[in-house]
Structure 1
Amino acid sequence: MPAFSRSISKALFPIGELTKPEVRAIAKQADLITAEKKDSQGLCFIGKVRLPEFLQQKLQPKEGEIIKIPSDFSQYKRHVPEFENKECELEYFATKFAYAAEDGKVVGKHQGAHYFTKGQRKGLDVGGTKEALYVIETDVNTNIIYTGEGKNHQGLYRNVLFVSNKEIHWIRKDLILAIGENLRVEARIRYRQTLEKAVLYKVEKGMYVEFENKQSAIQEGQFVAWYQNEELLGSGVIS
C-alpha cells in the first residue's frame, strides 16, 4: 500500500482521539493541500460572503433604536442575597440582566436587531462617545439593541452560564456527572479563546458552568466546551 494510502487509512478511524496538530501532521505527511489551510471561522455553506451580508440577503431590514445603558444602571448595583444552596446561587448569577427602553438613552438607529450579537462593536455607526459602544443585549421582539460604553462595561460580563439537559454532549462518557456532582475543568465559550478555569455543576434540569473569572459576551445559542489537560471532554449549547 502506498505511503499516502497508509497515512489516510491510519487517520480515518482514530481521528477522534487525535489533536488538530496531529491531524495536520498526518495530512502534511500525505502531501495534502489542506495540511496548512487556515481554519474556517465562518459558515462553510455560504461561500465567500461575510455573515452580516448573508443575513441582510435573507432577512428584511427593520429600523429600530440603539439604546445606551449607563454604567451605573441599577441592576449592576443590586444587593446579592443569601442563598439557600449552591444551585440557587448559580441560577442567580446565570440570569442575564433585563433591560427596558426607559433604562437608557437612544443614541442611534439600526436596521435590524437580528443582525447583531452580544459583544459586537463594529457596525453600530454611533459617534460622540468617549469609548466605543458594545452590544450588551439584543431584543428581536422590540427590535432594540442595548449597548454599553467601553469593553469593560458591566453589562458584558457574567461568570455563570447554563446548559439544558438536551444540549449537553459528552465525549468522555466515563466522566458524565450525576445530579449533585461537580467537576473542575477548563472551558471556553468562543473559538481560539484561552481556556479558563471553571467548575461544572450538574442539576436536575441541566448543568451550570461557573467560571473563575467573568466572561465577556456570553451568548445564548453559542457553544461552551470543557477540557482537562487540553483534552476535550464535552460541550453544550448555552441557554
Structure 2
Amino acid sequence: MASKRIIVGMSGGVDSSLTAALLLEEGFEVIGVHLQMAHDVPGSVASGCTASTDRQDAIRVAAQLGIRIEVIDAAPAYDEHVLQPFLKSYQQGLTPNPDVWCNEFVKFPLLLAAADRLGIEHVATGHYARTTERGELLRGIDPEKDQSYFLCRLSTEMLQRIRFPLGELRKTEVRERAERLRLSTAAKKDSVGLCFVGDIDVSQFLRERLPQSPGNMVTSSGDIVGQHDGLPFYTLGQRKGIELPNGPWYVVGKRLETNELLVSNVQGDSQLFVSSASVERLHWIGGEPDSFEQIDVQLRYRQPVQSAVMSSLQDGQLLLEFSIPQRAVTPGQEAVLYEGDRVVGCGRVH
C-alpha cells in the first residue's frame, strides 16, 4: 500500500479541515472522505449545522486545499448500528453512548474500507487523541477537548492504521492555524449534541420517536408525588423537567417493571451514590491485563478520572470498586479505563 497517501475523514468542521491541511504540509497526498451520517432531520438543528451544510463545507475545504473528496452515504449503517440501538437502549432503561458506537461500527470501519479500496494504509480524523505505532490509544494533550473516551472501543488493529494530528494541539492552536491558512471553516462553531442529529436536546429527540408511557413519580417511601410521561425521557441525576413542589427534585432510579420513576428532593441523596459498579461487554486495547488492580476510571465524557480497584466477575463482567462513592453511575454508559494517558479498555455499566 502507498505510504504517502492518506484518507482524511472530513466532517465539514474546522478540526477535520485543519487535519487535512496539516497532512498536506507533511507531504501526504490527501484524499478526503465525507461520511454523510444522516440525512437532514427536521427539527434537529439549533445552530445551523445540517447534514447538507456540513457536506458543502467539506467539499468547499477540499476544493480550497486542492484535494479530491468522496462523499459516502453512511446513513443506512448509522440507522442499523447507532440510531435503532440508541432508541432501543432508552426503551430498556439504559443511557447509551451513540458517539462510541458511531466510531466503533460506522465511522472508522467505513473510512478504513475506503482506504482498502484505494490501496491506502492509513486514515486520519480530527479527533483530539493520540495513537502509537503499536496501536495504543492515548489522551490528547488538551484536557478540555480530549476525545479518547469516545474512541475507547476501537481495536488495536484499527488504531495502528489511524492518525490523529490534532492530538498534539490545543483547540486554541487549531483555530489560530486554521485562520492563518484562511480555511473557510476556521470560524465555524463546534458541533454539539447527538452525533447523528446535531444540536438537539436528547429528551426532545426521544419524545419525537418513542411512544409516551405515563406512570407515577414516587419517593423511596412509596409516596406518589407526580406523573412522568415515559421512563426513556429521564436519566439518573436529572433535575431538569421535574416540576414538582418543594423542589428541586432529582431522578434517583427507575422501576421498569412497574413503570415508576424514583425521585428525591433530598440534596445529595445517598440513593444517587454507589461505591461499586459492574461493567460488561469488556473491550481491551492491547490485550486483557495480566492482573486486575488499581485503575483510573472515567464514567462519562469530561468527568475527572476516578480511582478504582477492578476485579474479575463471572460471565465476563468486571467489578469496579471506587475509592470515593460516585454519583449517578448510569447503566448503559461507558466506563473507560486508563493508566495515565493510555486507554487500557472499557466496559458498559451494567
1:68 partnered with 2:219 = yes
Residue 156, structure 1, aligned to residue 268, structure 2: no
Instruction: Supply the distance in 2 between the matched residues of 1:155 and 1:34 (Cα, whole angstroms).
Output: 46
CA contact (8 A) 1:170 1:235 kept: yes
Q: 2-side partners of 1:8 and 1:140: how far apart?
A: 56
Tell me, in whole angstroms, the C-alpha distance in 1 between the residues paired with 2:272 and 2:27: 45
Q: Distance in 2 between matches of 1:61 and 1:142?
A: 15
CA contact (8 A) 1:202 1:208 kept: yes
Question: Residue in 2 aligned with 1:224?
Answer: 335
Selected match of 1:59 from 193, 197, 210:
210
1:135 equivalent among 251, 254, 275: 251
The residue that corresponds to 1:47 in the other structure is 198
CA shift at 1:39, angstroms? 6.7
Who is 1:81 aligned against?
none
**Which residue among 272, 278, 285 is the counterpart of 1:171?**
285
Check if 1:114 corresponds to 2:232.
Answer: yes
Distance in 1 separating the partners of 2:346 and 2:211? 33
Which residue, out of 286, 303, 308, partners 1:193?
Answer: 303
Per-residue CA deviation, residues 47-70 of structure 1 (Å, 9 max, x unaligned), is 33211111110112222111122x
* Other-structure match for 2:69: none
Q: Return the letter of the residue paired with 2:289.
A: L
> Alpha carbons of 1:118 and 1:48: their partners in 2 closer, same or farther (altered >3 Å)?
same
Alignment of 1:202 with 2:316, yes or no, is no
Secondary structure of the residue aligned to 1:48 is: coil
Residues 163 and 208 in structure 1, CA contact (< 8 A), matched pair in contact too: yes
CA RMSD of aligned residues (A): 3.0
Task: Please say if residues 117 and 135 of structure 1, whose CA atoms lie closer than 8 Å, have aligned partners that are also in contact.
Answer: yes
Cα deviation 1:71-100 (Å, max 9, x = unaligned): xxxxxxxxxxxxxxxxxxxxxxxxxxxxxx
Alignment partners' CA distance in 1, 2:123 and 2:208: 39
Query: Does the residue aligned with 2:343 lie in a helix, a strand or coil?
Result: strand
Structure 1: where are the runs of 5+ without partners? 70-102
Find the partner of 1:23 among 158, 162, 166. 166
**Are the structure 2 counterparts of residues 35 and 215 from structure 1 closer, same or farther at C-alpha, using a change threshold of 3 Å?**
farther
Change in CA separation of 1:185 and 1:38 when aligned onto 2, cut-off 3 Å: farther
In the alignment, structure 1 residue 105 sits paired with structure 2 residue 223: yes
In the alignment, the residues of structure 2 paired with residue 170 and residue 184 of structure 1 have an alpha-carbon distance, to the nearest angstrom, of 16
Paired amino acid for 1:43: L
Question: Given residue 5 of structure 1, which amino acid in structure 2 is its aligned partner?
Answer: L
Q: How far off its partner does 1:150 sit? A: 3.0
Tell me how far apart the structure 1 counterparts of residues 348 and 306 of structure 2 sit (CA, whole Å).
Answer: 17
Aligned residue for 1:46, secondary structure, equals coil
Give the aligned residue type for 2:254. Answer: T
Counterpart contact for 1:177–1:202, Cα < 8 Å: no
**Secondary structure of 2:252 counterpart:** strand
Q: CA deviation at 1:3?
A: 5.7
Shift of 1:8: 8.6
Deviation, 1:182, is 1.8
Summarize the Cα distance change of 1:34–1:202 in structure 2 as closer, same or farther, 3 Å threshold: farther
Find out whether 1:5 has 2:24 as its counterpart.
Answer: yes
Q: CA deviation at 1:220?
A: 1.0
Q: Please name the residue that 2:292 is paired with.
A: 182
Deviations 1:179-214 (A, max 9, x none): xx4221111211111111111112332211111000
Question: What does the per-residue CA deviation read over 1:113-168, in whole Å, with 9 as the maximum and x for residues that have no partner?
Answer: 12111111111111224xx211111123322100122341011010111123xx11
Q: TM-score of the superposition, structure 1-length normalised? A: 0.71
Conserved 8 A contact 2:191-2:199: no
Provide the rounded CA distance (Å) in 2 between the counterparts of 1:63 and 1:122.
Answer: 18
- Structure 2 residue ranges without an equivalent (≥5): 5-20, 29-121, 133-137, 143-164
| Separation of aligned partners in 2, 1:36 and 1:7 | 24
Cα pair distance change 1:64/1:203, threshold 3 Å: closer
TM-score for both structures, normalised by structure 2: 0.50
